[in-house]
Structure 1
């Protein structure tokens, strides 16, 4: 799964640590991903959520490509340091869409963000 290490995920320090069709786990450091007030940037939460959720959706698609359609994030608490963990689980698997819930927590296992990602399942590979 070399594509997991490309570009934005690598820049953000995101690592996918566990993946199977029922659950994807990814981590991201707070350091390097803060906003001006010293808290983890909300956009960084969104990137981590979409990274974990996209892998989860792809694992549900029987090898067909999936692309993000909609991402919604609710930020519950700020994080100043450490590692944030995302756990993505499918909540709907259809023929043309997959919806995933992603729960982000801090190192004290406190929920920091809840996200929902819907991906479209493509019937062909883009550009082919």
Structure 2
């Protein structure tokens, strides 16, 4: 396993970066950093449900893009580069009505101009809720 981080990363740093953003508003919490992944969780509540009482597909996309794009930022030298989203694709597999979901972002590709990320979202029983692919552009400051 190769360490992917190019900028020093910590739960404090990623949490601070998310303050006063949509992810903060939805209660997304970063919970774990590994050598090749970043994980976050999100509550399923009135802010993240759709009218049928299940997790809103858009909330799933927000969680996936939040954890993937945050990870992407720490895979570049932030003094020289920054990353922005180009594309996200989400396949919804299972509905969630309550509790929390957890997203884990791992890179497929970390290139000089693009990054491609896999983000799996699972429920409290560790069952797959959605699979997501996020493409990021790497831009020079």
2:95 pairs with 63, 78, 92, which one? 78
- In the other structure, the counterpart of 2:43 is 29
Q: Could you tell me how far 1:55 is from its partner in structure 2?
A: 1.4
Query: Structure 2 regions of 5+ residues with no counterpart?
Result: 1-12
Deviates more, 1:107-116 or 1:21-30: 21-30
- In the other structure, the counterpart of 1:12 is 26
Aligned residue runs from structure 1 range 1-128, under 5 A: 1=13, 2-20=16-34, 22-32=36-46, 33-63=48-78, 64-124=81-141
Describe the superposition over 1:78-119 as per-residue Cα deviations: whole angstroms up to 9, x where unpaired: 000000000000000100001110000000000000001011
Question: Is the contact between residue 56 and residue 100 of structure 1 (CA under 8 Å) also seen in structure 2?
Answer: no
Describe the superposition over 1:23-79 as per-residue Cα deviations: whole angstroms up to 9, x where unpaired: 000000001210000000000000000000011211212222100010000000100
Q: Extract structure 1 runs of 4+ deviating beyond 6 A.
A: none
Rounded Cα–Cα distance in structure 1 between residues aligned with 2:132 and 2:67 = 11
After TM superposition, the score normalised by the length of structure 2 is 0.84
After TM superposition, the score normalised by the length of structure 1 is 0.92
RMSD between aligned residues: 1.1
